[in-house]
Structure 1
Amino acid sequence: MDQVPPEILLHIFEFLDGPAPSEISLHDQPSDNMLHAESDESRPLKTVSLVNKTWRALVLPSLFRHVLWRPKISSLSAFTLNPIPLLRFIEENRLDHSLVSFTLLINFFDLEADAYMITPKVRPSDLEWLWDQIFSVIDPLRFTIIARPTTLAALLSRMLFLVDAWSFDIPYHILSLARTERDPPGKVLPNEHIKTAESSAADRSAAAINYAARPRKPPTCPLFTVRPWTSLLLNEGSSIKVYRTYEFFLRRPPSILGALLGCEEPPNDTPLIPPSVVDFNYIAIFPLASHFETLLQNLPKVERLFVQLTPKPNNGILEDEEEMRQIDPGDLWMERNTSYSFLMRELTFMPDPQGNWATLRVFESGDAADKEAWEMAVQVLIRNGTKGWKVERDGVFVNDAEGEDDPGDGSQVNGHHGAPANAPERRFLEP
């Protein structure tokens, strides 16, 4: 094998590569081990890198295309100005250009925050420096955070409603930002928050003082503008446990959804989602309809909306006796049906030409495996004769708002498996 040219070896190694867990698991139930490989057999590239130094040098860029960082910290205040060893390793081995996705998984438990139902305390200046450190080194196409709801809110410098958090018992949420392509080399990003790793201590001290002198209304989190993200995914996991409580429909989950949309009381009244985001993905397992309606009433101006409100067919959560203890399955499906009725109301109602729903061109449901529910949704569109909307395939509606006028007989809503003749151009990420 030592006589095989490096180009041939690299071509062979390409066949050993596969999708990273972070690419295929974003719709699964969030957990701290969801991206953990079970054995070295499922990580052939890592095994190849252990053969010898030559093979390791060849495979290293592919091995670190998808990076998972699990910082060992006891509190968010540990994110200080100290250099991050992982970033130093990426720089020394020149892996920054080959890196495609970066996942930050924080699994520490803040005992004080949990006991008193508050978001962990952290200085905004420390978090700004964290984002600056990361993005001054890497330029990923996807950046993902897996953390407890309280931790996630603290990372975004926002507050969280935690009065009813005990009844949901949701351990982790996922927030993922992505884009389809990188900026051309040498382009200066229009973001005042970006700094280089060589920023002086005096500059950082001045920034901290400026933060203290600013009004109470916090600035937009630098994470959302540090790159021109075009897609956002929020996975809030399972809300099944809340259905065990009395009058569950009055509960409010520990969620950053309202903070992302900017539809809550200060400091959560400033939207975090930048205008560059045209693709919104919301995943949850049987969320309360009242919570889901928050998204529908405050949907940002996007062109594609993906929604998944039930577990995947192979999830097994509905067959878990312990998980379903003291829960009436009828309540779960009632909330799911109510959520979709709210959504179909928004889709079929003639939108305000200047409203947020008017920009929507594609709606995709992650629950199309429920054939009966999907057929009901199709019939709603047919019955209402909504102008522009068509069925591209199972689970996908497209709106050809600039196409031919609707003849008024519902014939525009057809073709369960074929794409419409004037389907809009696709420029979205796969969910």
Structure 2
Amino acid sequence: MLLLELPNEILARIVTFHDTASPFDVGLLEKPKSALGPRETSDGIRLMSVPAGSNRQNALKNLSLTCRLIRAVALPVLFKHAVLHPLLLSDFLAFLKEHSLAHYVLSVVVHVSGHYNHIHPAWWARLLNEVPATRFSVIAPPEVFAELASIHSWSNDAWAFDMPVQVLRFDQSLEAARTKIDYDDLPNFLVGRPWECMVYNEGSSLSAYTTYEFFLRRTPSLLTALHFNSSAAGDALFANLLHFDFIAIFPFYNHVDEVLKCIRKMKRLRRLFVKLCPEPGSTAFDDEMEVAGGALDVHDPWNECETSWMLIAHTVLFLTVEGELQVLHMDDVKVEGLRRNLETALNDRLHERWRYLEQGSGIWHRSLGAGQWEVRE
């Protein structure tokens, strides 16, 4: 029997073997790169597929080009995770409508390279209204996030950090994804949906360590801006979050303290994920040391990291009393040289109300009472 003679159900099953998780999410723990966004080409349709990455993704794209029948079967899988530029939104939505794909899109990554608040209705509101994806990610420079949130950017020291882009990711329920935003009464971007999960990857602060009195530099960060602007929308966002992930590479401890002040407002938070060091095997530290030409004391980033752990422990204890936090995940235990010090530091401060059930896991669970521990994530 020829391939095209197979029933559509079997063809669909074959296509699913090339299905993958979003390649964007796979690299989320790395230093953000502009390359994660769409390529600047004249072909708008290309800009709407998932970012190239694995052989399986490329195989799925190639499979969709074989014939019309296979393409029709493959498109819903191929566009589960879409990437686009705000200026191509109309083309993107027209393409989804033409092929009846909108309800297949599970996640959208938007690469915002500049300021687009002049677009009406707002590109993000239009996207959320017409594509009921449950995951919404934005790759943009720090000042663009501040503009989206309608707050002052607090980025006078941005030059010292060299953070061209950062990543903000939100998750919402399927029910929330189906609600409509009123264009005539546009809410703040941060509360455009009742977001339940938030991930913020700030990137690396290593270049700032090469500047004079680096500890006085203020990190270009949406969370810093929300903290100092006392944003009502930011507070409403924080109050609704159930999961929060903070990812950075060697942030200053005083900046981590600003981030933690935002986290203390997340009273409904059940899971907190923190990553302050590069991935094991990453060359980020060596790369930036080479660029700095040796003008960086290698002890400074590690000292800032260790001080940050103490601050994190205090915030976890605060949310133990004032909030609903159940799980703390410290991802830096993956770094072999840090594991013992990190586990010891957190255990010493959390042992009365939290339990570290598995060495090397980086996961602490809150006590539910005598001899009982919360183990859900």
TM range (shorter): 0.7 to 0.9
% identical equivalent positions: 28
Structure 1 position 375 matched with structure 2 position 340: yes
In structure 2, what is the equivalent of residue 79 of structure 1?
none
In structure 2, what is the equivalent of residue 341 of structure 1?
310
In structure 1, what is the equivalent of residue 44 of structure 2?
none
CA contact (8 A) 1:91 1:137 kept: no
In structure 1, what is the equivalent of residue 43 of structure 2?
none
Deviations 1:253-298 (A, max 9, x none): 1111134xx4213667852525331101000001111101112233
Amino acid at match of 2:247: I
After TM superposition, the score normalised by the length of structure 1 is 0.75
The match for 1:49 among 61, 64, 79 is 64
CA contact (8 A) 1:121 1:154 kept: no
Report the CA distance shift for 1:41/1:222 in structure 2 as closer, same or farther (over 3 A): closer
Structure 1 position 90 matched with structure 2 position 96: yes
Report the CA distance shift for 1:298/1:166 in structure 2 as closer, same or farther (over 3 A): same
In structure 2, what is the equivalent of residue 256 of structure 1?
222
Deviations 1:145-198 (A, max 9, x none): 00111122212222201211111111001000014x5129xx974x7x435xxx
In structure 1, what is the equivalent of residue 36 of structure 2?
34
The match for 1:9 among 2, 8, 11 is 11
Report the CA distance shift for 1:295/1:8 in structure 2 as closer, same or farther (over 3 A): same
List alignment gaps of at least 5 residues for structure 1.
Answer: 74-82, 109-119, 196-203, 208-218, 406-420, 427-431
CA contact (8 A) 2:195 2:241 kept: yes
CA contact (8 A) 1:236 1:255 kept: yes
In structure 2, what is the equivalent of residue 194 of structure 1?
182
Equivalent-residue separation in structure 2 for 1:42 and 1:62 (angstroms): 10
SS at match of 2:369: coil
Equivalent-residue separation in structure 2 for 1:235 and 1:350 (angstroms): 24
The match for 2:229 among 265, 274, 284 is 265
Deviations 1:3-32 (A, max 9, x none): 111111111111122222122111111111
Amino acid at match of 1:423: E
The match for 1:139 among 118, 129, 132 is 132
Report the CA distance shift for 1:41/1:383 in structure 2 as closer, same or farther (over 3 A): closer
List alignment gaps of at least 5 residues for structure 2.
Answer: 38-50
Q: How big is the shift at 1:366?
A: 1.4
In structure 2, what is the equivalent of residue 282 of structure 1?
246
Equivalent-residue separation in structure 2 for 1:292 and 1:376 (angstroms): 19
CA contact (8 A) 2:326 2:374 kept: no
Equivalent-residue separation in structure 2 for 1:385 and 1:182 (angstroms): 35
Structure 1 position 322 matched with structure 2 position 290: yes
CA contact (8 A) 2:327 2:376 kept: no
After TM superposition, the score normalised by the length of structure 2 is 0.85
Equivalent-residue separation in structure 2 for 1:256 and 1:134 (angstroms): 22
The match for 1:99 among 105, 108, 112 is 105
Equivalent-residue separation in structure 2 for 1:72 and 1:38 (angstroms): 24
Equivalent-residue separation in structure 1 for 2:232 and 2:157 (angstroms): 18
Amino acid at match of 1:165: A
Report the CA distance shift for 1:382/1:42 in structure 2 as closer, same or farther (over 3 A): closer
RMSD value, Cα: 2.8
Equivalent-residue separation in structure 2 for 1:283 and 1:267 (angstroms): 22
The match for 2:83 among 68, 74, 90 is 68
Greater per-residue helix proportion: 2
The match for 2:258 among 286, 294, 305 is 294
Matches for 1:382-397 after TM superposition, within 5 Å: 382-384=347-349, 386-393=351-358, 394-397=361-364
Amino acid at match of 2:175: D
Equivalent-residue separation in structure 2 for 1:121 and 1:15 (angstroms): 38
Report the CA distance shift for 1:399/1:372 in structure 2 as closer, same or farther (over 3 A): farther
Deviations 1:15-70 (A, max 9, x none): 12222212211111111113642687751111011000111011111111000002
Equivalent-residue separation in structure 2 for 1:385 and 1:235 (angstroms): 26
Q: How big is the shift at 1:127?
A: 6.3
Amino acid at match of 2:296: I
SS at match of 1:84: helix
Equivalent-residue separation in structure 2 for 1:231 and 1:58 (angstroms): 31
Equivalent-residue separation in structure 2 for 1:403 and 1:11 (angstroms): 47
In structure 2, what is the equivalent of residue 245 of structure 1?
211
Amino acid at match of 1:239: S
Q: How big is the shift at 1:222?
A: 3.9
* Structure (1 or 2) with the larger CA radius of gyration: 1
Q: How big is the shift at 1:352?
A: 7.5
CA contact (8 A) 2:310 2:346 kept: no
SS at match of 2:218: coil
Equivalent-residue separation in structure 1 for 2:223 and 2:229 (angstroms): 13
Structure 1 position 366 matched with structure 2 position 331: yes
Question: Which one is further off, 337-346 or 37-46?
Answer: 37-46
Q: How big is the shift at 1:373?
A: 3.3
Q: How big is the shift at 1:220?
A: 5.4
Q: How big is the shift at 1:375?
A: 2.6
CA contact (8 A) 2:204 2:251 kept: yes
CA contact (8 A) 1:287 1:336 kept: yes
In structure 1, what is the equivalent of residue 169 of structure 2?
176
Structure 1 position 425 matched with structure 2 position 371: no
The alignment covers a number of residue pairs equal to 355
In structure 2, what is the equivalent of residue 80 of structure 1?
none
Matches for 1:87-236 after TM superposition, within 5 Å: 87-108=93-114, 122=117, 126=119, 129-179=122-172, 181-183=173-175, 189=179, 193-194=181-182, 204=184, 221-226=188-193, 228-236=194-202
